[in-house]
Structure 1
Amino acid sequence: MYQYGGSDGYQSRYSRGGTYNRDNSRTGRSGLSSSLPQDRDFMEGLQTAALRTLSKPQASIISRDEQILKPQNLKCIGSYNWVDEPTPTIIVPGSPPVWRDRPVPYSVRADSGVQMVDQNSFRMGSASNLLPLFRAVDIVSEANADTSMNWGAVDVVTDRNGLRKLLRWIMYSDVESTEPLKEFRIDLQLGGNKTVLMHRREKRDREISVPPKAGFGHNFEHESTYPAEGCQRSTAHHRIVQYDLDGLRMVVRFEVDACTAQSSSYTLRTSTGTQSRTSTRTSNVDDLASALGGLGVSASSRSSTAATSAITIIRAGAVVPQSTLVELATRSARYIDQFNWQEKYPQLLLSSTPQLFLGAHNRGTFERVYKHALGNPSLRHIEQDTRIMRAFKQLVSILRTIQQLVKIYGDRGRLSLLCNGDGVLKVYERTSNTGCLTDSELARFRA
């Protein structure tokens, strides 16, 4: 969901999370009060002195015929939904909420109550927030040997959120930026010989929305979608994709707001054989559709092997094709022409989310939904924006620099990126392993 800056947690908009009360306010976990912990200190657990300051990679000259770097050879390798339970519980493969395509106009209440900033971190506590990603992918690999992952060949494992933060840092300057740069921290860890694990770390995992400043984004999503079969208790859907980005092999997790619905039949491959089913899907399925869909035929549960980070697995839902994914956004109809495409377009591109539905409202009454698609001529001016094109090249360059640093400090080194509001990005050593993957989890990168 996007309003002001995006569902990845920029400019006080939050990731989809929590359940709706009768008044349509949202809580992150049963029984939450409106009293939240104080913000974390980003220097907590870091050495006092920085190891080094990172400079922005030199911007290359962009020719008129040049095209923006885009993810290539994209493949969905897993997905899951969070469930509102006292202990970490995910639905695999899960499914995104389905777009209702309601006739306009319709009205929604202003957002209120506790909203999620980072549901993965909130529900995993002190354990690594990357663990649900690996659990979801592992289940796919178990179901279909053709999809087994070669983790040692991966260069970067990250949330889309981390890539967006680095892009904002690259594009930020006092002259060109109209919005202040929000400070951020990303914890780093080495997997195997070269894989950079980027652990998301926020000042807060939840925030309180107070109308009218909070806007209408979450309730627009709630009133414009319905839960997929088997995912009625879901609080968020996350998808994990693998792709190549200018020579870097990336594994990226991101939240999906919604998907469009089309009905067709397809075949499930399960441990007991094959069977045909009808589901809300398109016929142009992903490579893993059969494997992931096959996981949704039963409602069994299982805990992870790590006692300190147990995750209960509910097998339900069905994977949807990448072509059906939708990012939802809202904007006052008075300012619809001021929509920030330089902020939004990279978000879509970094996850290959093909559609953006932009709801235009007048004080919560949605009068029109603008539907945009990647590759549409209406977005050509954004795709040819030289500033964005340069920034994507610089992103690849800084990821390679980060990879070299992490490799130098080895599998026992713990580094963090810390960027202040003035755009200074520094690298620090950490004094704690909190939030890192354990040795047993890291074994996948050495296999």
Structure 2
Amino acid sequence: MEGIAVQIIDIPEDSPKAQNIEITNCTYIGSYNWLERDTPTILVPGSPPQWLDKPMPYHVPIDKGVICCDRNGLNMPNTILLPLVVAVNKTTEYNNLPPFDWASVDFVLDRNALRKLMRWSNGTAHDFRFDLQLAGEKTVLVNRFPLKVLEEASGFSSRHNFEKQSMQSLPDCSEHYRIVTLKEMNGWKMVVRFEVDAYVPSEDNELAPGARNPDLGIGVDTQFRAMSLSSSNQEPKVLNAQQGGREIPASALVELTTRSALSNTEGNVLNWRDRYSQLLFSETASHFLALHQRGNYERLEKRSITAPEFKNAEEDAQKDIQKLIKVLGLIRNLVIEEGKEGRLSVVCMDKVLSIHKKHGRESCLPDFMMALFESA
């Protein structure tokens, strides 16, 4: 690991008298799909894949070959937060809204970062790393450091082929990402990005204000908006943003899990505590569990966040969230103390969490975008 370890972080103790933290003020501010292009290109607002609700049972072949496990890291390895900022700015522009107030934000990060820190707090984390940078006077940029962006299929999972058979995506589109603000996390305003697996269409599924191209795959705007992203400490980059797709209400969003029915036995059930936080931090309405035997998908279990499994997991998840708040507060103080020129990393290895001071001064966003976080 590059840099010097400056602090080891201990897992916070439980706070039995602490009030529950309710994530109720979750507001959509942008979304995008990656388009299959030679030059990195996002479609804004894009659309999640549409759930087809095919009758079961049906067979799905085992995944083969190389699979992308982090599209943002693959397409923009040095500026993973860049498409997030571009998508939010383009969403306000396309919907004729005032510019988003980036200077008011306390954290910009992926939901994945919140979940990994929570897993660390309850002793179930794998190794991870996030790079940290101060933007403006108070905004902490949490730049996910992908340990891998491509991986060889395991030879046991059929998740990707199941998605291909069970959903319909916009033409030439890959993963869909949604961006929201959370305002109940210790009073902080957080901008959170997460991947959406699917959405369920319905007759009364109203489109959000300013939604465009309501028919999937039809009428996608052909105008590209190219931006040259260069700064003194980065190689020139280009990210294209194309308008198209439609905004989908949170009530229609689905988180999908595929699992072997043979492994889903008593004593080895799904970790509902972890799935609860996944839905909570993104205001995702539903969880689908697709059960199969050697690729023969036989049963689909649909649950809302109010299902008994999630209600039973809520108390333990709240303990994790309380610890998460304490760790984020510590991280935030260290980043602000380090200042705009400082660069830190959060590293988890063998379940030990530490803060490292980096030697380089590379920025995770180009200079003109860093300026968005300065107070007027």
Q: Which residue of 2 aligns with 1:257?
A: 197
Q: What is the Cα deviation at residue 433 of structure 1?
A: 3.5
Per the TM alignment, residue 340 of structure 1 is displaced from its structure 2 partner at its CA by: 1.7
The residue number in structure 2 matching 1:441 is: 369
- Which residue identity lines up with residue 352 of structure 1 in the other structure? E
Post-superposition CA distance 1:18-74 (Å, at most 9, x none): xxxxxxxxxxxxxxxxxxxxxxxxx1xx22x311111222320158xx64x232221
Instruction: Please give the residue correspondences for 1:213-228 in structure 2 after superposition, counting only pairs within 5 Å.
Output: 215-227=157-169
Per-residue Cα deviation, 1:322-353 (whole angstroms, up to 9, x for no partner): 11000111111223341121222211211121
Query: Does the CA contact (< 8 Å) of 1:62 and 1:389 recur in 2?
Result: no
> Using the alignment, how far apart are the partners of 1:82 and 1:316 within structure 2?
12
Which residue does 1:192 correspond to in 2? 136
Structure 2 length normalisation: TM-score? 0.91
Give CA deviations for 1:162-183 in whole Å, capped at 9, x if unaligned.
Answer: 11110011111xxxx5xxx311
Match of 2:179 among 240, 244, 247: 240
Alignment correspondent of 1:322: 250
Distance 1:111 1:62, change over 3 A: farther
Between the two proteins, the alignment pairs up a number of residues equal to 362
Letter aligned with residue 159 of structure 1: D
Instruction: Report SS of the residue matched to 2:264.
Output: helix
Corresponding residue SS for 1:412: coil
CA distance, structure 2, for counterparts of residue 147 and residue 391 of structure 1:
36
CA distance in 1, matches of 2:39, 2:45: 19
Task: Assess if the C-alpha contact under 8 Å between 1:331 and 1:360 holds in 2.
Answer: yes
Aligned pairs for 1:40-439 within 5 A: 43=1, 46-47=2-3, 49-62=4-17, 67=20, 69-126=21-78, 128-172=79-123, 181-212=125-156, 215-227=157-169, 231-244=170-183, 245-263=185-203, 282-283=205-206, 285=207, 289-293=208-212, 298-307=221-230, 308-337=236-265, 338-383=269-314, 385=315, 387-421=316-350, 423-434=351-362, 436-439=364-367
* Alpha-carbon offset, residue 147 of structure 1: 4.9
1:400: Cα distance to partner?
A: 1.2
Which residue identity does 2:252 align to in structure 1? T
Provide closer, same or farther for how the CA distance between residues 294 and 410 of structure 1 changes in structure 2, counting only shifts above 3 A.
farther
Task: Tell me the amino acid that sits aligned with residue 225 of structure 1.
Answer: M
Distance, in Å, in 2 between the alignment partners of 1:410 and 1:397 is: 21
Give SS of 1:243's match: strand
Distance in 1 between residues matched to 2:100 and 2:277, nearest whole Å: 27
Structure 1 residues 23-38: aligned runs within 5 Å? none
Cα shift at 1:246 = 3.0
Gaps in structure 1 of 5+ consecutive residues:
1-42, 265-281
User: Which secondary structure does the structure 2 equivalent of 1:72 belong to?
Assistant: coil
Q: Secondary structure of 1:390's match?
A: helix
Q: Percent identity?
A: 38
- TM-score between the two structures when normalised by the length of structure 1: 0.77
Change (3 A) 1:339 1:125: closer
In the alignment, structure 2 segments of 5+ residues that lack a partner are: 231-235
